[in-house]
Chains A and B, each alone.
Chain A
Amino acid sequence: MVTNSYDRLIQALGADLTPVRRLAPPGARTLIWLTIVGAIALALATVSDVGAMSRRLMAAPDMWLAAIGSLVTAVLAAVAAFQLILPDRKPAWALLPLPAAVFWVAASGIGCLRSWLVPETHPASLGEAETCLAFILGISVPLSALLIVMLRQGCPLRPNLILVIGGLACASAAATLLNFIHPYDATATDLTVHAFAVATVILANAIFGGRLLMGKDVLASV
Chain B
Amino acid sequence: MAVLTMAKALNEGLRSVMERDPKVLLMGQDIGKLGGVFRVTDGLQKDFGEDRVFDTPLAESGIVGTAIGLALRGYRPVCEIQFDGFIYPAYDQIVSQLAKIHARSKGTVKMPITIRVPFGGGIGAVEHHSESPEAYFAHTAGLKVVACSNALDAHAMIQQAIASDDPVLFFEPKRRYWEKAEVDVSADLSDAYPLWKARVVRPGTDATLIAYGPMVKTCMEAATAAEEDGRSLEVLDLRSLSPLDYPAVFESVRRTRRAVVVHEAPSFVGMGTEIAARLSEELYYEMEAPVLRVTGFDTPYPPSRVEEDYLPDLDRVLHAVDRSLAF
| Bind each other | no
